[in-house]
């Protein structure tokens, strides 16, 4: 029969009506709604049991103890481990997202020579060639590690130089080390027993020293109290986080820290506020007042406040002899609550050799911005390529939690510590540490394990200190050095007893001149990698909380 | 005559004078271009997400929500004229009824289209019907607008079927013939729905306890803005319709409806506007002196930020409220076409300003002690999408005017002016 | 909020909300379906064609709505109030009784007294066997000549007076020819046969509404005049009637005229 | 059990380091956004605001105010406005839950929130290749076009409940339920607890004379309390914005 338009219309209408009595539309509706709720291209977290592993952060010298949540063999979360005697479970903001660093887009995945990809063998050949042609320099960013031992002895064997790139906190101690002719690394701050801290721009609450150590001290003894047990006087041009959290903030003109320190010293001496005698600084109070922008009375009051509640610790943000010298006047050197000696075998490396270096090798712990002086071939170990680097060779180093290492005493610590950080991850592509690289060239170098054993032996023989883990075990109660190493490898931290603060002879022939070097404070400054975890970078990009950091120019 | 012209001519009702095909095409061309560009912009937003706009977490509503509120207020002419003609039996308004329907349809469908771009997950929009939260004004709005859009389409259907070619198909003609007998029912339903969602749109902001600038006292479950929006909508609706018809007359150079009809529209608009202004003034006084201070916000603070000075309040209530109301109510000014149109324009501007203040100023003003006053400038994607709605409106109205008996047949028989 | 959504529990708001919107939807749906139902009813009954025609008639220009008696000269001026359905015209008898003037008019085309003419330019010829033959009159034939396409209803289909009897296309214009009487189609012809339909009447035959005798001349004359005006080239004299007869194949010969209007008026199709 | 989980944040102890923000993002699989993102289009369920007493020079004081969802208990502004029940208050915990799978992204709740604690996913969440393996298994990622906010680390509450259930207890041990930001704060400035429990240290701290809440007069009963000994900081609670600015000029 012939189908008329009318039949067609009726048919369609019937069909549409009929469809609604079939499951088809409802199933479609259901599927659509489910699809709209999870798009296939949106990544979903891995499923699987979550376990927790103990580890240590190796991204700065502080070596904070970590609890790493692992799922399906990958780190999925990080928190501090409260058993650590110094960090007490605190972490810096960057640490909480560090577990994502290894997948950062700028991760260095292959050996690169002048921007082109190369092989490990080529790199090794090139370095051996350099060694044969002249002295090489080895730069270590974090001395005192087992790896450092290897680096150092390599330099010694090849009569090259072994240099340490010091951090700001360490540089700040340099003058005192010089006057007391002690290595920098055997000096520390006894913050726990001090009553007044005078900080010349040191970012105490913003990444200074060991995360958690000072901040917790501050929050227990200083925060928000009108007359706190611990007085913090922050002297700096602009109000910083530390200034806001301090007991007093003293705004002074840029670069006049040394002058102010001198004038304070003058007042302390002239008005007999301190018993210790020292050479009279040349600076006059009136002059200082003009330069610093403070009134003479203000400076005088400041001097009185400083002397009032001792022990008083004077900190500078970076190397500044004039500021450091105040500690001598206030008798804070070698006294409880001041600058104390700690058991540490590290010594300041020897001076540079006569003839210029043929090549220099930078360990991955050396801050990215470090620029070797002079023209030589540069071998740079790094896990991330921060860009703008002039190194001839970029050598991929292990990333976060990928390098087994030991952790010597962190800067600013009053007592010696020792810990061993296991590697709980392995890089999916060939990486080497500087030490491993050198070991391949010179097999006589001490291996990591040898040095670690030796160190454990030594600690065991000293029979001092305690192992801090879930519970505390005095070293004396340990059967052998092996047991000690075992417990350290299991995540324990050895904490030495406070060294006797006496025997820190320190004399001043004349009042030192100030060094204007000043460093702007931020967590990012003590941070060795050139990049920050994406989630930490959010702070700078997606909120107005922080201004983008100026990284320290070592 | 070219073939296109022949075909075109065949769809134009017998004896109706319309612009030549070429002229009409030239008129449409720019609007079509604008529409296409806007659709492209909207496509960007749908494909790449709303990061294409300049909205942000603090300015979560932008140009689009302002446009929706305004456009829907303008579209109020549709339901209100229907209400006047069918419920209140104001027969003399019949000639503009079809125009009102087209305007309404355009406004509402346009608004819904923009909303679909505005939400982050358009494909989930229907969840509102699945998990509706009966306490949310937005739910009420969604339900009402959806229903009313259906009603508008149904009301537009008869007008569409009156097209010369379509009505040659018997079943269409008969359906139209039967359907338009029942249209008064739809008009009643439409009026009911509209009263509600116009109100709910106002309620959207009146209930924002967290935004003292917008929060108002409640009657029963509704904040005062609920009632103010109804008033302002039915006040502006006729004015806007008046302007549309006037524009059509200007463009076609024909007298489409009796002057008396326009005056009547103006008068209705004027009276309602007067009532609105009175109510609005009382509401503002209560809010400034009681509501706002009681939650710790001194009223003067709202107007401490330029350009949103207290001048904006004066403009909204007096300049664009009281003034046009008076102009429309006084017979002498109403009788002059110039004044009539001028007053109608003012009325529209007044309501636009009101919607602007409620949507934009509310979000720009800080709430926390440490907030700043915020600025927001729509991105070109937002503007283009908005432009597309305008173009869409012009195109639909032009086509309707050309091919449908919007103003009845010039041959006068209006027993079949289908409505709505 | 709906009972089948997890964690649902009734509240007053739900009841109110659901009731209101339920009612709204029901009302709207009912309205729509009700008119659909009524439409179907009308289409099934015979009223549909009538309704369409009456609406269409109302839209015809006044010149096309003159009463047949005006065309015959019985009355001076009268617009048909019955959509050309003289069967329901209460004045028909009265008018028919009136005398009419004898006039000689130039109709431009021939016509036959044996044929009954419909205002849509079809004629009806009663056959001996009681069936009727339907064809296009000369006037229409001159306009269209040879149609490009013919579209007849299938045999046995019903046609209704003023409904569409058949469709033709010529030069892209669709022409709908109105049926002059009610009936069932027996056979279909075409221009070559000079007839188009053979129809078996339905029910009692009443052809009063068809023109005959003097009316035809008057009607054709007025149609010719209309055509002259409509086809007049701007600024030229009427040149259609050549020696008093309409020239053939007009649509082919004057392609640029406004044929849409001409055809609509000729076949009473607004 | 019927708890009222809430926080007391000691602003005098907040150094504005941002550890809470980072820890929160890491815990809740919040992606880092494209470079175009700003502090206004960002995704920071926990956001630390920097505030000052408006004085320049030696008299200047600054403080930091961490703001996350306050989980308002009364007339919760975002709950009543959501058209499709994508925001709900959990009666048993007092936590205001956002259900991203149901959210259509109309952002009405964001305009309703006086604390701007709600965030819209303006971008598709994206991670560098391989980094998605480091996402927290306990929390599902969200997609573009939906609103999200702090839910007091609901995943952690769940595991705490499971632990309690496993050991047959009906109440959880608060030691097991510590939100990421609380855990991360290096100065221990954030106290978290059950405000309905008078013995809970947090609920006691909430009643200390230095405790205050932001915009409490709006009557939404926010469950995040702040604490400060400094009068000017406490003044930030209720002082209306323009007034605050004006007085800052006079100081």
pLDDT at A552: 47
In angstroms, the separation between the Cα of residue D218 and the nearest Cα of chain B is 5
Q: Smallest CA–CA separation between C176 and chain B, in Å?
A: 10
| Closest alpha carbon within chain B to A34 | B124
Out of B51, B363, B369, name the one closest to residue D236 (CB): B369
- Calculate the average pLDDT of chain D: 90
**B123 and A6 in contact by Cβ < 8 A?**
no
How do A231-235 and A248-250 pair as beta strands?
parallel
Q: What is the reported pLDDT for A184?
A: 87
pLDDT at B230: 94
The pLDDT value recorded for residue A351 is 59
Taking the domains of chain D in order of start, what are their residue ranges?
A: 5-250
Interface contact A244-D61, CB threshold 8 A: yes
**Whether residue B412 has pLDDT greater than 50:** no
According to the model, what pLDDT value does residue D251 have?
40
Contact D44, D21 (CB under 8 A): yes
The highest-level CATH class for domain C49-266 is mainly beta
Dig out the tokens for B186 from the structure. 């739809």
Q: pLDDT at residue D247 above 80? A: no
Neighbours of A (≥3 Cβ pairs closer than 8 A)?
A: B, D
The pLDDT value recorded for residue B395 is 96
- What are the tens digits of pLDDT across the range A77-96? 999 998 888 888 899 999 99
Give the residue with greater pLDDT, B325 vs A33.
B325
pLDDT at B215: 92
Which residues of D are less than 8 Å from A91 in CB distance? 19, 184, 186
Q: Which alpha helices (H) appear in A226-319, and where do they start and end?
A: 241-245, 257-270, 285-292, 296-308
Of D36, D85, D116, the CB nearest to B58: D116
Lowest-pLDDT choice from A514-523, B275-284, D79-88:
A514-523
* Domain identity same for A187 and A329: yes
**Mean pLDDT on C191-216:** 83
Residue A64 is classified by DSSP as -
To the nearest whole number, what is the mean pLDDT of chain A?
87
Q: Is the peptide bond before A213 cis (omega within 30 degrees of 0)?
A: no
Looking at residue A551, its pLDDT comes to 59
- Choose the mutation target among A36, A38, A40, A42 for the interface with D, i.e. most D CBs under 10 Å: A42
pLDDT of residue A77: 93
Residues of B (74-133) whose Cβ lies below 8 Å from A? 121, 123-124, 127
How confident is the model at residue D184, as a pLDDT? 94
Whether residue A265 contacts residue A278, with contact meaning beta carbons closer than 8 Å, is answered with yes
Q: Which residue has the higher pLDDT, A505 or A385?
A: A385
Cβ contact D13–A219 (<8 Å): yes
Q: What is D5-250's CATH number?
A: 3.30.70.20
User: Residue A36's closest CA among D133, D6, B125?
Assistant: B125
Q: Are residues A155 and A219 in the same domain?
A: no
- Whether the CB-CB separation of A378 and A372 falls below 8 Å is answered with yes
A300 domain-assigned: yes
C191 — pLDDT class (breaks 50, 70, 90): confident
Task: Enter the ipTM.
Answer: 0.87
Going by pLDDT thresholds of 50, 70 and 90, the confidence category of residue B411 is very low
Confidence of residue B416 (pLDDT cuts 50, 70, 90): very low
Task: Please report how the helices A257-270 and A296-308 are oriented relative to each other, as an axis angle in degrees rounded to 10.
Answer: 70
Closest Cα in chain C, distance from residue B14 (Å): 6
User: Above pLDDT 70, what percent of chain B?
Assistant: 96
Average pLDDT score over residue span A26-54: 83
Burial class (CB in 10 A: 0-12, 13-18, 19+), A329: buried
Q: Is the predicted pLDDT of residue B38 greater than 90, yes or no?
A: yes
- Give the per-residue pLDDT at A497: 87
Cα B181 from chain centre: 26
Counting Cβ atoms within 10 Å, is residue C28 exposed (0-12), middle (13-18) or buried (19+)?
A: buried
Residue B336 φ/ψ, nearest 5 degrees = -85, 125
pLDDT tens column, A465-511: 999 988 899 999 988 889 999 999 988 999 998 877 666 778 788 88
Window C:16-55, CB contacts with B under 8 Å? 16-17, 21, 24-25, 27-28, 31-32, 34-36, 38-39, 42-43, 48-49, 51-52, 55
Judged against a pLDDT cut of 80, whether residue A277 lies above it is answered with no
Interface of D with B in 71-110 (CB under 8 A): 75, 77, 80-86, 102-108, 110
Which residues on chain B are in Cβ contact (under 8 Å) with C16?
Answer: 134
pLDDT at C4: 64
As beta bridge partners, residue A55 has A66
Specify whether A315 is located in the same domain as A441: no
Q: Are D95 and D149 in contact (CB under 8 A)?
A: no
pLDDT of residue B278: 96
CB proximity list for B168: less than 8 A, separation 6 or greater: C52, C176, C269
Maximum mean pLDDT: which of C214-218, D178-182, D247-251:
D178-182
Same domain, A392 and A291: no
Contact between chains at D102 and B131 (C-beta distance less than 8 A):
yes
Contacts of C5 in chain B (CB under 8 A): 130-131
Statement to judge: residues A301 and A285 lie in one domain? yes
Q: By mean pLDDT, which of A477-491, B226-240, B389-403, C246-260 is the weakest?
A: C246-260
Q: Does D45 score more than 90 pLDDT? A: yes
Has residue D244 got a pLDDT over 60? no
The whole-number pLDDT of residue A352 equals 61
Please name the residue of chain A whose CA is at the shortest distance from the CA of residue B121: A36
In whole angstroms, give the CA distance from residue A62 to residue A213.
10
Do A188 and A322 lie in one domain? The reply is yes
Nearest chain D residue to B137 by CA: give it: D81
Domains of chain B by start residue, with CATH = 18-403 (1.20.1630.10)
* DSSP conformation letters of A115-157: TEEE-HHHHHHHHHHHHHHS-EEEEESSTTSHHHHHHHHHHHH
In this predicted model, what pLDDT tens digit does every residue of A140-168 receive, in sequence order?
988 889 999 999 999 888 888 888 888 88
| pLDDT attached to residue B298 | 85
Task: Note the pLDDT of residue D198.
Answer: 92
Looking at residue C149, its pLDDT comes to 87
Residues D31 and D43 sit within 8 Å (Cβ to Cβ):
yes
The pLDDT, as a whole number, for residue C172 is 80
Shared-domain flag, residues A269 and A381 = no
The segment with the largest mean pLDDT, out of A63-72, B33-42, C218-227, is: B33-42
Q: How confident is the model at residue C215 (pLDDT cuts 50, 70, 90)?
A: confident
How many whole angstroms separate alpha carbon D142 and alpha carbon D126? 11
Q: What is the CATH number of the domain that holds A118?
A: 3.40.50.740
Q: By the CB < 8 Å criterion, does D105 face chain A? A: no
- Spatial distance between the Cα atoms of B92 and A100, rounded to a whole number of angstroms: 74
pLDDT of residue C227: 85
In a domain, A241, yes or no: yes
Same domain, A151 and A190: no
Radius of gyration of chain C measured on its C-alpha atoms:
25
Average pLDDT over residues A245-263: 91
For residues B284-300, give the mean pLDDT: 89
Q: What is the mean pLDDT of residues D120-143?
A: 92
Task: Write down the pLDDT at residue C233.
Answer: 65
Domain that holds residue A211: 169-345+509-521
| Per-residue model confidence as pLDDT tens digits over D190-228 | 999 999 999 999 999 999 998 999 999 899 999 999 999
Top pLDDT among B114 and A524 is at B114
* pLDDT 10s digits, D132-144: 999 999 899 999 9
CA distance to A221, A309, A328, B370, per residue, from A230 (Å) = 6, 9, 20, 30
CB D114 to CB B210 under 8 A? yes
Q: Does pLDDT of B126 surpass 90?
A: no
**Residues A190 and A322 occupy one common structural domain:** yes
Contacts of C12 in chain B (CB under 8 A): none
Number of domains forming the structure of chain A: 2
Whether pLDDT at B415 is above 80: no
CA A199/CA A313 separation, integer angstroms: 8
Do C187 and C152 meet the contact criterion of CB atoms below 8 Å apart? Answer: no
Average pLDDT rounded to a whole number, residues B88-92 = 88
The answer to whether A205 and A220 have CB atoms below 8 angstroms apart is no
pLDDT in tens, A421-476: 988 999 999 999 999 999 999 989 999 999 999 999 999 998 889 999 888 999 99
Q: Does B191 touch chain C (CB under 8 A)?
A: no
Q: Are residues A392 and A372 in the same domain?
A: yes
């Amino acid at each position: 029969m012939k189908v008329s338009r009318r039949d067609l219309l009726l048919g369609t209408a019937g069909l549409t009506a009929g469809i609604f009595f079939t499951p088809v539309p409802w199933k479609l509706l259901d599927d659509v709604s489910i699809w709209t709720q999870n798009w296939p291209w949106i990544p979903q977290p891995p499923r699987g049991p979550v376990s927790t592993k103990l580890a240590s952060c190796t991204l700065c010298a502080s070596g904070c103890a970590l609890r790493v949540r692992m799922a399906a063999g990958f780190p999925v979360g990080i928190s501090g481990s409260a058993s650590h005697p110094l960090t007490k479970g605190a972490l810096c903001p960057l640490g909480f997202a560090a577990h994502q660093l290894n997948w950062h887009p700028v991760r260095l995945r292959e050996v690169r020579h002048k921007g082109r990809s190369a092989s490990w063998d080529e790199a090794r050949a090139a370095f051996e060639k350099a060694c044969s042609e002249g002295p090489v320099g080895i730069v270590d960013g974090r001395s005192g590690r087992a790896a450092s031992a290897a680096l150092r002895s390599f330099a010694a064997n090849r009569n090259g130089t072994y240099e340490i790139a010091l951090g700001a906190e360490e540089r700040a101690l340099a003058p005192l080390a010089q006057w007391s002719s002690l290595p920098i690394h055997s000096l520390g701050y006894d913050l726990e027993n001090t009553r007044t801290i005078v900080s010349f721009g040191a970012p105490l609450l913003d990444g200074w020293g060991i995360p958690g150590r000072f901040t917790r001290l501050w929050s227990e003894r200083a925060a928000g109290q009108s007359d706190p047990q611990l007085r913090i006087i922050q002297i700096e041009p602009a109000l910083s986080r530390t200034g806001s959290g301090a007991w007093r903030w003293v705004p002074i003109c840029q670069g006049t820290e040394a002058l102010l320190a001198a004038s304070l010293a003058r007042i302390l001496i002239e008005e007999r506020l301190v018993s210790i005698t020292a050479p009279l600084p040349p600076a006059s109070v009136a002059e200082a007042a003009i330069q610093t922008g403070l009134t003479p009375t203000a400076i005088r009051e400041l001097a009185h406040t400083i002397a009032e509640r001792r022990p008083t610790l004077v900190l500078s943000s970076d190397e500044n002899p004039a500021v450091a010298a105040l500690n001598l006047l206030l008798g804070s050197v070698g006294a409880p609550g001041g600058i104390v000696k700690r058991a540490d075998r590290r010594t300041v490396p020897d001076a540079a050799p006569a003839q210029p270096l043929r090549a220099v090798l930078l360990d991955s712990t050396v801050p990215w911005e470090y620029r070797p002086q002079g023209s030589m071939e540069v071998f740079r170990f790094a896990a991330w390529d921060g860009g703008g680097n002039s190194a001839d060779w970029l050598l991929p180093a292990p990333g976060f939690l990928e390098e087994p290492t030991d952790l010597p005493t962190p800067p600013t610590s009053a007592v010696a510590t020792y810990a061993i950080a296991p590697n709980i991850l392995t890089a999916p592509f060939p990486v080497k540490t500087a030490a491993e690289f050198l070991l391949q060239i010179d097999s006589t170098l001490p291996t990591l394990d040898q040095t670690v054993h030796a160190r454990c032996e030594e600690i065991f023989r000293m029979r001092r200190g305690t192992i801090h883990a879930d519970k505390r075990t005095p070293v004396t109660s340990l059967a052998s050095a092996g047991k000690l190493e075992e417990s350290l490898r299991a995540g324990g931290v050895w904490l030495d007893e406070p060294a006797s603060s006496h025997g820190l002879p320190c004399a001043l022939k004349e009042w030192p001149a100030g060094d204007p070097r000043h460093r702007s404070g931020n967590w990012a400054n003590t941070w060795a990698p050139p990049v920050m975890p994406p989630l930490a970078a959010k702070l700078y990009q997606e909120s107005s909380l922080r201004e983008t950091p100026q990284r320290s120019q070592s | 005559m070219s073939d296109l012209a022949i075909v075109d001519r065949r769809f134009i009702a017998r004896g109706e004078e319309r612009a030549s095909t070429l002229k009409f095409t030239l008129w449409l061309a720019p609007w079509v271009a604008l529409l296409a560009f806007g659709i492209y912009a909207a496509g960007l937003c749908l494909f790449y997400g709303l990061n294409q706009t300049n909205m942000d977490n603090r300015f979560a509503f932008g140009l689009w929500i302002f446009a929706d509120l305004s456009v829907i207020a303008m579209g109020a002419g549709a339901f209100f004229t229907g209400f006047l003609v069918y419920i209140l039996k104001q027969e003399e308004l019949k000639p503009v009824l079809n125009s009102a329907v087209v305007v309404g349809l355009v406004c509402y469908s346009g608004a819904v289209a923009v909303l679909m771009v505005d939400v982050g997950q358009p494909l989930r929009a229907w969840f509102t019907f699945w998990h509706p939260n009966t306490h949310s004004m937005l739910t009420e709005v969604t339900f009402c607008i959806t229903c009313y859009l259906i009603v508008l389409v149904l009301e537009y259907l008869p007008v569409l079927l009156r097209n010369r070619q379509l009505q040659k198909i018997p079943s269409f003609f008969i359906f139209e013939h039967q359907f338009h007998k029942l249209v008064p029912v739809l008009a009643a339903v439409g009026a009911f729905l509209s009263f509600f969602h116009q109100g709910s749109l106002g309620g959207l902001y009146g209930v924002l306890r967290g935004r003292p600038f917008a929060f108002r006292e409640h009657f029963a479950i509704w904040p005062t803005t609920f009632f103010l929006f109804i008033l302002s909508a039915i006040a502006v609706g006729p004015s806007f319709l008046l302007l549309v018809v006037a524009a059509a007359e200007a463009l076609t150079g024909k007298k489409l409806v009796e002057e008396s009809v326009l005056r009547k529209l103006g008068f209705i608009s004027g009276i309602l506007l007067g009532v609105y202004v009175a109510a609005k003034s009382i509401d503002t006084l209560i809010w400034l002196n009681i509501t706002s201070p009681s939650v710790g916000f001194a009223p003067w603070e709202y107007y401490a930020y330029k350009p949103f000075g207290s001048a904006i309040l004066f403009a909204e209530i007096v300049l664009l409220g009281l003034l046009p109301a008076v102009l429309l109510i006084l017979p002498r000014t109403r009788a002059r076409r110039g004044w009539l149109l001028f007053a109608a324009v003012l009325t529209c501007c007044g309501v636009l300003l009101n919607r602007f203040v409620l949507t934009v100023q509310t979000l720009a003003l800080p709430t926390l002690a440490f907030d700043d006053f915020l600025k927001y400038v729509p991105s070109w994607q937002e503007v283009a999408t908005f432009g597309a709605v305008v173009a869409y409106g012009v195109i639909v109205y032009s086509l309707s005017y050309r091919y449908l008996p919007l103003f009845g047949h010039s041959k006068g028989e209006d027993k079949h002016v289908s409505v709505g | 909020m709906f009972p089948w959504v997890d964690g649902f529990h009734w509240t007053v708001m739900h009841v109110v909300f659901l009731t209101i919107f339920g009612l709204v939807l029901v009302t709207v749906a009912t309205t729509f379906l009700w008119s659909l139902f009524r439409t179907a009813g009308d289409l099934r009954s015979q009223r549909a064609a009538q309704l369409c025609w009456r609406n269409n008639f109302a839209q015809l220009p006044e010149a096309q709505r003159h009463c047949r008696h005006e065309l015959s000269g019985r009355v001076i001026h009268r617009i048909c109030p019955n959509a050309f359905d003289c069967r329901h015209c209460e004045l028909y008898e009265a008018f028919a009784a009136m005398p009419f003037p004898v006039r000689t008019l130039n109709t431009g085309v021939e016509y036959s007294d044996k044929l009954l003419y419909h205002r849509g330019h079809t004629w009806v010829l009663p056959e001996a066997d009681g069936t009727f033959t339907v064809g296009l009159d000369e006037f229409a034939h001159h306009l269209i000549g040879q149609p490009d396409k013919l579209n007849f209803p299938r045999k046995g289909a019903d046609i209704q007076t003023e409904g569409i009897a058949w469709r033709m296309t010529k030069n892209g214009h669709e022409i709908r020819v109105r049926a002059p009487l009610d009936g069932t189609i027996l056979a279909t012809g075409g221009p070559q046969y000079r007839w188009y339909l053979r129809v078996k009447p339905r029910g009692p035959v009443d052809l009063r509404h068809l023109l005959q005798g003097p009316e035809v001349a008057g009607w054709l004359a007025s149609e010719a005049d209309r055509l002259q005006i409509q086809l007049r080239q701007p600024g030229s004299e009427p040149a259609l009637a050549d020696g008093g007869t309409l020239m053939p194949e007009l649509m082919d010969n004057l392609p640029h005229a406004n044929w849409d209007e001409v055809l609509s008026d000729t076949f009473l199709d607004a | 059990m019927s708890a009222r989980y809430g926080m007391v944040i000691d602003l005098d102890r907040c150094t504005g380091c941002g550890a809470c923000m980072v820890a929160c993002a890491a815990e809740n699989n919040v992606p880092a956004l494209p470079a175009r993102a700003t502090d206004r289009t960002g995704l920071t369920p926990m956001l630390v605001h920097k505030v000052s007493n408006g004085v320049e020079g030696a008299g200047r004081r600054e403080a930091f105010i961490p703001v996350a969802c306050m989980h308002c208990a009364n007339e919760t502004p975002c709950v009543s406005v959501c058209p499709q029940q994508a925001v709900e208050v959990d009666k048993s915990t007092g936590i205001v839950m956002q259900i991203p799978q149901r959210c259509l992204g109309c952002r009405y709740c964001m305009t309703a929130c006086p604390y701007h604690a709600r965030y819209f996913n303006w971008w598709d969440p994206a991670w560098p290749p391989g980094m998605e393996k480091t996402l927290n298994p306990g929390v599902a990622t969200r997609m573009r076009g939906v609103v999200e906010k702090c839910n007091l680390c609901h995943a952690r509450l769940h595991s705490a409940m499971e632990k309690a259930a496993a050991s047959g207890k009906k109440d959880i041990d608060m030691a097991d339920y510590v939100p990421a930001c609380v855990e991360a704060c290096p100065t221990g400035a954030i106290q978290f607890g059950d405000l309905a429990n008078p013995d809970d240290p947090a609920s006691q701290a909430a009643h200390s004379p230095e405790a205050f809440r932001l915009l409490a007069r709006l009557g939404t009963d926010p469950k995040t309390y702040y604490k400060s000994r400094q009068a000017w900081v406490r003044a930030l609670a209720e002082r209306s914005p323009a007034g605050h600015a004006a007085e800052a000029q006079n100081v």
